[in-house]
Amino acid sequence: MLIADSLAIAGRHLPLLEPTSLVVARGELLLVAAEPQPTRTALSLGLSARMRPTRGSVSWSGNAAMRTVRRVSALVDSPEINEPEAHLKVRDLVAEDLALQPGPIWRRNGIDAWMKKHHIDALANEWLDAIDPLERLGLLTQLALEDRGVELLVFDSPDRHGIPEDDWLRFLESVATGRRAPAVMAVVQRIPEHWDGSRAWAGRVQDKLAAAPEPEEETEAAAAPRENSEESEAENSAAVAEPIPDDAAPAEPTTALTASKDLP
C-alpha cells in the first residue's frame, strides 16, 4: 500500500503541488485529478519517489525511504520525463527497455520472443506515433511490468492521447485486477463522471482519509489500575450521567490531515 501524507512540492515561483494526501492498495485503481500539466507531472514524480518533496512523505508498506518507494514503482509515459520519442519504432523501444531491466542478461527475454509473447510482433516495424494510442499505452504498461519488482504503476496523464474515457479506464482497471495486481494510480486532467471507484484531488486530502477517525489515546487515569473497583464504577456512572451544556463550544478537530482546497 502506498500512502502520501501531505505531499507538497515547491516550484521556482509558485508551488508545483499543494499538500496532497492519498492512499492506494495493490489491486486498486486510484484516479487523481490535477491541473495544470506541470502539477500532474510533479505529483506523478512525487508519488513514484522520483522527485524529493518539499514537505510531507510517501511510503510503501510503512517504509518511507525514497529508495524503497522508487524501487517498487514505475512511472509510465510522463510528458518530457520518460515518454518515448515518436521517431522510435516499436521494436527499438522494446529493445531499449528490455536492455534496462534489472538482473543478468541471460535471464532477459529476447526482443522478438517478448513481442510475440505479448502479441505485438505485428507492430514491430511500426513507428510509435503511428500505432493506436490504446495499443501504445498497453505496450508501455507491459514494458513497465517486465520488472518483477514493480508493485505500483503511476500513469501521468493517460487521458492526453485522445483515447475514449471508457477505453483507458477499462484498460487501467484490468491492469489493477490482473494477475500481478499492482497498485495503479492515474493522474488525470478530469475524473470521468461515471467513475465510482477510488478518487482524489491534488492539493486535498482524499475523502476516505479525511473521514477516518483517529485512534483514541489512553489517558494516564484510564491506564492506571484502580484499587477499588466499586469506586471506579461509581465514578464512571457519574461521568456518563453528567449532562453536556447546550452552549458548550464544539470540539476542535484533532486530525492533522485537512483539506487545503475546495472540491473542484
The pTM assigned to this predicted structure is 0.79
Report the percentage of the chain scoring pLDDT > 70. 78
Grid coordinates representing 150? Answer: 514493480
Measured in residues, the chain has a length of 264
In this predicted structure, what is the pLDDT of residue 110? 87
In this predicted structure, what is the pLDDT of residue 165? 96
Grid coordinates representing 263? Answer: 472540491
From CA 92, how far away is CA 65, in angstroms rounded?
Answer: 34
Prior bond to 182 cis, omega within 30? Answer: no
Identity of the amino acid at 105: I
Cell match 522494446: residue? 94
In this predicted structure, what is the pLDDT of residue 247? 41
Among candidate residues 51, 50, 135, the one with its CA nearest the CA of residue 93: 135
Q: Which residues of the chain have pLDDT under 50?
A: 218-264
In this predicted structure, what is the pLDDT of residue 107? 63
Secondary structure letter of residue 106 according to DSSP: G
Secondary structure letter of residue 47 according to DSSP: H
Helix H or strand E encompassing 55 = strand 55-60
pLDDT digits (tens, 9 = 90+) for 60-117: 999 999 999 999 999 999 999 999 998 899 999 999 999 988 877 666 778 999 999 9
